[in-house]
Amino acid sequence: MNDRETKSRFFNMTTIKSVGVLLLFFSAIVLLWHGNATSNQAQPALVAQVYFEGEYRVADGEWHKIVKGNHIPSTKGDVTLRGYFHMLTPDGEYVGIYSGDMPIALYTDHISLTFYEGENEPYVFDMENPLFGDSACGKDWSAYSFANKSEEPVEILIHNPHSFGNETAIDELLANIALWSGLDFEKGVLERGESQRDIGLLFIIVSLLFLGTALFSTLIHIKNSNIIWVFGIVILFAGTYLSYSADGVSFWSESIVSNTTILGCSMMFYMLFISTALVYLLKVTKKIGTITVVVLGLINATHFIIPILTDILFYDTWFYWAVSQILANIILLGCLIREFLVAKGKERWIYICSILPLISFVIDVVMIDLGIWDNGLSSKYVFIVFFIAAMVAVLKIIPNNINTLAKAKELETEKKILNVRLAESRISTMMSQIRPHFIYNTLGSIEQLCELDPSKAGELVHNFAKYLRGNFGELDNPKPILMSQEMEHVRYYISIEKVRFPDMTFSFEMKSGDFRLPALTVQPIVENAIKHGLMKLQKGGSIRVISYETDTDYCISVEDDGVGFDTSKLLDAKKHIGIRNICDRLKVMVGGTLEIESTQGVGTKVLITIPKEGGK
């Protein structure tokens, strides 16, 4: 397959993925909108509908007429309703006052109801009495059959044991009264929440795929597996929240306590892991974001411990959790704004989109407290946005991870081959540095100096011994050595050569020496500079060795003003085994590179570059 076919295939696959993701996005939005549009303030299709007409009062206050659409607060004290139930046909035509022939379906959102009918004993729907469990607070549908067949008004005392989270409870109660028609009623309520439950189930299935991918990536040590874990966990809790906040949850999950606990936990963990995911995006403010998330996690833990150790209900800790989460959101918003200001280009859009879950949560808390809407409406839409973003990110990360794994295997294979080559060539490389002619010439110099200058001969013997010890001592050393050790060996070698070539000059600029490199890397390069560069001059010549560092690398430069040469001849590896072995050892042992620049008649420069992570 040629490059054009490969690019075309990649383009087609990318287009297919993009279209698929967009279709999924718009389908989810439509389904979620449909689910919310037909949610609480709408009754299921029933044989007949019921509405309550009369008046209400809060605590011992004045009586007010119940007006359809007007809000009745449920968190300002006990509320008493007084009046009559009226029946309508499915088409909305008035039938008359409810006569008590069929049970009435009542929707309770963390509230208890006490019915007073004439002289009859009051009947209590108390979600917190022992009949339902010691801490059973939640949302449920109940059927009530009237005992009083007279035309006297009925009074309903509504008690809300909570001060936050269900401000719209009475509005929901009045908007959802209907005749209990058995299975038909349950089916109608379940159909209202069907779209939202389906989206939640889709989220849960996809999250399990993400978590499976994350586990596989972790086991094979692939980068970015942590962010896939976070994506999977966030989508899992978002899907759980969608499923358990849908209408009719009590009909398919009958444990009121479990439903409430799962709903609260899913939002808590969703926000905690969303906050964790945002920390991955931080650079300048990463430390602040990390501390914020850790403290938030500790605070969340206390909200689980308090209900266990005290009589406080789990639901009643939600307000304090919401406040702590809002404070954390404010800090993270500040971090994201700071990152936005220093970011450039497309990165800015990432930080703009990242504020959505934080802001939507704050909006939901305020709206729930004011009674404008219930169940984190704006966060549900952000769930969809995050879901799509996570899908796109993971679809990009997984192929990159596969390519990374393939490259890693290739590098590992290449490294093994290089190690074999190094093992085979180490002895020949080291021995090639001690050329017979060099030994003969050095011994000849020693012989001459013994007659002319015995003290200088002794110094030459000392340096020659140090030189030989350095070469043979590093023969079996598989580890990098300090630059200072390498330069010590270079100086021994130069001291020997200066006896033979006193008109040559050498200089050293060691601006950085606290790093490591393969042994016998610089000395052979200096030797080549003398042999192939300076010795071909009529006289003189100079060599300069410089070491320095940049932000990312350690560098060594060996420069001479010799005759220079044609660098294209270096392509013949058979004639330049020494250079090849130096390059191989640099690559394998410290991840370094070697570059040669040479101009005939001007000189040669050899540059060794070692990444700082390899030279430590």
Pick the CATH number of 3-39+193-405 from 2.70.98, 1.10.10, 1.20.1070, 3.30.43: 1.20.1070
pLDDT of residue 87: 85
pLDDT of residue 239: 93
| Burial of residue 459 (number of CB atoms within 10 Å: 0-12, 13-18, 19+) | middle
Which of 247-256, 529-538, 551-560 has the highest average model confidence (pLDDT)? Answer: 551-560
pLDDT of residue 14: 44
pLDDT of residue 502: 87
Q: Is pLDDT larger for residue 27 or for residue 70? A: 70
Instruction: Find tokens 């007007």 and name the residue.
Output: 70
| Burial of residue 199 (number of CB atoms within 10 Å: 0-12, 13-18, 19+) | buried
C-alpha angle with apex 427: 422 to 432, nearest 5 degrees?
Answer: 110
**Which amino acid is it at 276?**
T
- Rounded distance, CA 104 to CA 146, Å? 8
Q: Is pLDDT larger for residue 412 or for residue 55? A: 55
- Rounded distance, CA 445 to CA 560, Å? 25
- Which 8-state DSSP code applies to residue 317? G
pLDDT of residue 136: 43
How confident is the model over 266-310, as pLDDT tens digits? 999 999 999 998 998 899 999 999 999 999 999 999 988 988 888
- Rounded distance, CA 489 to CA 463, Å? 9
Provide the Cα torsion 435, 437, 441, 446; round to 10°: 50
Report whether pLDDT(209) > 60.
yes
pLDDT of residue 57: 95
Provide the percentage of residues in the chain whose pLDDT is more than 70: 82
Assign domain 49-191 to its CATH architecture: Sandwich (2.60)
* The pairing of beta strand 481-482 with beta strand 94-97: unpaired
pLDDT of residue 396: 77
pLDDT of residue 235: 93
How confident is the model over 448-466, as pLDDT tens digits? 778 777 788 888 888 888 8
Over range 528-544, report the average pLDDT. 89
What DSSP line would sit under 60-110, residue for residue? TS--EE--TT----SSSS-EEEEEEEEEE-TT--EEEE--SSSPEEEEEES
pLDDT of residue 126: 64
Exposure b/e, 144-153, CB count within 10 A at least 16 = b: bebeeeeeeb
For residue 86, the cross-strand partners are 51, 97
* The pairing of beta strand 139-144 with beta strand 104-109: antiparallel
Report whether pLDDT(151) > 60.
yes
Alpha helices in 434-542 (DSSP H): 436-452, 454-473, 483-500, 522-529
pLDDT of residue 594: 93
For the domain made up of 434-611, give the CATH fold.
Heat Shock Protein 90 (3.30.565)
Report whether pLDDT(233) > 50.
yes
- Give the residue from 616, 614, 573, 609 showing the smallest Cα distance to 590: 614
pLDDT of residue 418: 66
- Residue 259 near residue 250, CB atoms below 8 Å: yes
How confident is the model over 562-584, as pLDDT tens digits? 998 887 776 554 556 678 878 88
Report whether pLDDT(138) > 70.
yes
Q: What is the 3-state secondary structure of 267-304? A: HHHHHHHHHHHHHHHCCCCHHHHHHHHHHHHHHHHHHH
| Burial of residue 550 (number of CB atoms within 10 Å: 0-12, 13-18, 19+) | exposed
Over range 333-338, report the average pLDDT. 94
What DSSP line would sit under 132-153, residue for residue? T-TT--SEEEEEE--S--SSSP
**Which amino acid is it at 345?**
G
Over range 147-154, report the average pLDDT. 71
- Residue 156 near residue 111, CB atoms below 8 Å: no
**Which amino acid is it at 500?**
R
- Rounded distance, CA 457 to CA 67, Å? 116
Domain boundaries, the chain: 3-39+193-405, 49-191, 434-611
How confident is the model over 404-448, as pLDDT tens digits? 777 777 777 777 776 666 655 554 555 554 556 677 677 777 777
pLDDT of residue 298: 94
8, 16, 403, 473 from 11: Cα distances, Å: 5, 9, 18, 57
Q: Is pLDDT larger for residue 365 or for residue 432? A: 365
- Give the residue from 95, 254, 97, 105 showing the smallest Cα distance to 184: 105
For residue 542, the cross-strand partners are 505
Q: What's the whole-number average pLDDT of the chain?
A: 80
Q: Is pLDDT larger for residue 291 or for residue 128? A: 291
Q: Is pLDDT larger for residue 21 or for residue 604? A: 604
pLDDT of residue 523: 87
